[in-house]
Chains A and B, each alone.
Chain A
Amino acid sequence: MNDIKCSKCDEFLVPRKTEFDYLGSTFSHEVPVCPKCGRVFISRELALGKMSEVEQQLEDK
């Protein structure tokens, strides 16, 4: 995370609590974010790992 930069702001990303929505549920999780513009970065590992798990759990409800 420390080696990823926001191309527009030229700032290294920092962990920040971010809100997520899916199928009517809202929750927050710490993800890398540009400290200047607030642009959120979701890594492949997160998207296909934890996020996918939670998505499936919510879809089963």
Chain B
Amino acid sequence: MTQEQTQEFVKGCIRGEPPPCASACPFRLDVKDFLAKCARGKWTSAYKTYRNAVVFPVVVAELCGAPCRGVCKLTEQPIELSAVERTMLSNVKKRGADFYAIPPKPQRILIIGAGLRGLACALGLAQKQYQVTVTDPQDGWGGAIRSHPKFDVFDADFRDQFSAVKVEFRYGEMNPETSGYDAVLTAVDRDDPIASIVDGAADALRLETYVQTGVMPEAQPSAYRCTESPPPRELSEPEARAESARCEQCDCSACLDACPMLKSYRKDPKRLALEFFTDAFVNPPLSTHSMTREAYSCMDCGACKAACPQSIDLGRLFHAYRRMRFENGTTPAAFHDIFLRRMERFNESGRVLAPLDGSRYVYFPGCAVATELPDTSARAFDFLRERYGAGLLERCCGSPLIWAGVDSEPPKLDLNATYIYACPSCAESLRAQLPNIATLSVYDLLSGTGIADAPTFTLFHACAARDNHALQGAVERLASGASLTVNRSTLNCCGYGGQTQLANPRQYRETVESNVRSDSNPYLVYCANCRETFKRQGKECYHILELLFPAANVNDALPLTIPDDVRDYMAANLILERDVLDVIRYAESSGEKFTTADGSLIASLVRGALTYWVEYRPIGDSFEVSSAYYHRMKFRQGGAR
């Protein structure tokens, strides 16, 4: 990952960019910094910030039309910057200019015209110690504003600003001699005094470039036009401080506000891009990865993109980094191992049935619906086969591979078939990998069936359906028979997205708890992962398919007796009963186990990246489990002695 590549993912991010007020200011005054200083009563410091930007602070504070007002985010009562500026000028103790101790430069520059433009240019060059001469046909400086009723205070401002520099002023000269100068500028004032100062300051930079390089940059006249604005209020010092403190110090934080993960790490997009780039070049053991936990904590739910005014999808940056870790073989396997093994098991054991003659429909339930709601899924398939002649494909859509950063082939699907998906993540994943695939949601085909006598639910939309408005609509229509309170506001991830549970258990727990707390109604969901996540947290939650196709009570319990506390621990750590039984069966068949003093047995089995341990007692044909845990480290079995 090069820096250009990581920056490309956050291109257009406006966080850290100047706020609207500073962008509207013809001088690009750092308004946030200025107001922060004013709010603290640091008038001298605020004055310097202001003067360094606007050149002639008294003139500008008096004549500026305050374009910042119109763009202030506090629309009902914009910050009165002009009023604060005036109070600042009344309170600053020392208005004189700063002296810059730099060696004099030999170049001589003549500026014809002592209006605001010529003065701003002369001051800029004189501060850099060029030999500056200003001439004007009038009897003094100021140009057009000499006739302004407040010229006496402007005159004092000019004297203050020129007090620390050496400039030769020659008045009453109609045709000054131009020979002997390295550069000559005819400084014609603009109609607008503010635009004149902006252009004069820019002229100083252009002339400096010219005398240093011989190339004169093209002038880019300020587009600023002063508009009439009401005269600013008079503010006392405490009032000006309070007014300054009202500034919200605007910065875009849309993605950080929308995403619990970004919020907890407090890293903005540009910083993330930079840190992912530097992290990509670690050189163990001299340096180590620092972004692992962040990278595997992204829930890939699209909340950042939806919130971003520039529609930046940070999930792509996280994904690119995980892909890089996969390619260089440094993926922390334990983060996704359980999900990938579950996927493999589903791909091995899932059923496949061809469509009936004449049908192009194939029901694609996805792993979550097919394994969490097997009976419901089978009944939904029976309905689709009878009504539409649908075939069946119980295969993974590839989401777990994408979330783990695994470089994989898209699922092998028949591009002539129309796949009927039940899971929003499958729809998103298939569309991303196979853009030409024809898909339809099962909820479209079930429309009109209705749900009789349903209690009041809150429909918890799936984050994977964020951009799938057709799916959202189909589910809402389908549920219209129920007395629904539609929760449209969230579209938050339930917590399952990105399968971050093992990479960042705390974030997972907090996200789920927040979703559970946010609504007291039972949730109605159409993503089996949402259902699994909420039910595990004790939230009453139903998949819409299980209301339409209630599961028969089948007793497929494994021969295990597991106390509630152990069961809760297993659920929180994604230990399946099947994993436990695998360990016990291996121990019983191989004899490789330990016996404790009280007669219980402890055995272990390595499965993928994890080593599972189970403590149990055989009771008849069944096993009573008293503990189940795993670790991610691998140990080397010692040789026999």
Interface residues of A (CB under 8 A from B): 3-8, 13, 16, 18-24, 31, 33, 35-42, 44, 47-48, 51-52, 54-55, 59-61
Contacts and interface: CB of A to CB of B under 8 A. Distances in A.
B637 A7 contact: no
A38 B637 contact: yes
A23 B604 CA distance: 21
B641 A35 contact: yes
Given A39-B638, A42-B611, 15 more contacts: A4-B602, A8-B592, A16-B638, A18-B636, A19-B635, A20-B636, A21-B634, A22-B632, A22-B633, A35-B641, A38-B641, A41-B594, A47-B613, A51-B633, A61-B289
A42 B604 contact: yes
A23 B641 CA distance: 29
Contact of B630 (A31, A33, A47, A54): A47
A5 B594 contact: yes
A8 to B, nearest CB: 5
Contact of B634 (A20, A31, A61): A20
A47 B631 contact: yes
Nearest to B294: A60
B334 interface: yes
B640 interface: yes
Contacts of B330: 23-24
Contact of B597 (A4, A41, A59): A4
B132 interface: no
Interface string B597-620: 100011010000001010100000
Contact of B594 (A7, A22, A23, A59): A7
Nearest to B503: A59
B634 A23 contact: no
A4 to B, nearest CB: 5
Contacts of A16: 638
A51 B611 CA distance: 12
A61 B638 contact: no
B638 A24 contact: no
Nearest to A5: B595
Interface of B: 284, 288-290, 292-293, 330, 332, 334-335, 503, 591-597, 601-602, 604, 611, 613, 615, 627, 629-641
Contacts of A7: 591-595, 601
B640 A60 contact: no
A5 to B, nearest CB: 5
B594 A40 contact: no
A39 B604 CA distance: 10
12 contacts: A6-B594, A20-B636, A21-B635, A31-B635, A42-B611, A47-B629, A48-B629, A51-B631, A51-B632, A52-B631, A59-B293, A59-B503
B566 to A, nearest CB: 11
Nearest to A59: B332
Q: Which are the 10 A-B pairs with shortest beta-carbon distances?
A: A38-B638, A3-B597, A61-B288, A47-B631, A22-B633, A19-B636, A7-B593, A55-B632, A5-B595, A20-B633
A24 B613 contact: no
A56 B582 CA distance: 27
Nearest to B573: A48
Contacts of B332: 23, 59
B615 to A, nearest CB: 8
- Residue among B332, B335, B638 having the largest count of chain A Cβ atoms under 10 Å: B638
B334 A55 contact: yes
Contacts of A42: 604, 611, 613, 631, 635
A31 B613 CA distance: 15
B633 A21 contact: yes
B594 A38 contact: no
Nearest to B329: A24
B332 to A, nearest CB: 5
B596 to A, nearest CB: 6
Contacts of B630: 47
- Residue among A21, A37, A59 having the largest count of chain B Cβ atoms under 10 Å: A59
Contact of A36 (B602, B611, B641): B641
A60 B291 CA distance: 7
Contact of B633 (A33, A55, A60): A55
A33 B288 contact: no
A16 B637 CA distance: 11
Nearest to A21: B634
A8 B464 CA distance: 51
Contacts of B635: 18-21, 31, 40, 42
A48 B631 CA distance: 7
A5 B594 CA distance: 6
- Residue among A6, A13, A16 having the largest count of chain B Cβ atoms under 10 Å: A6
Contact of B613 (A22, A39, A44, A59): A44
Contacts of A20: 633-636
Nearest to B332: A59
B637 A24 contact: no
A39 B637 contact: yes
Nearest to B502: A59
A6 B590 CA distance: 13
A12 B627 CA distance: 21
A57 B632 CA distance: 12
Contacts of B636: 18-21
A47 B596 CA distance: 17
A21 B631 CA distance: 12
A56 B630 CA distance: 14
Nearest to A51: B631
Nearest to A18: B635
Contact of B638 (A18, A22, A54): A18
B633 A13 contact: no
A4 B636 CA distance: 20
Nearest to B587: A7
B431 to A, nearest CB: 32
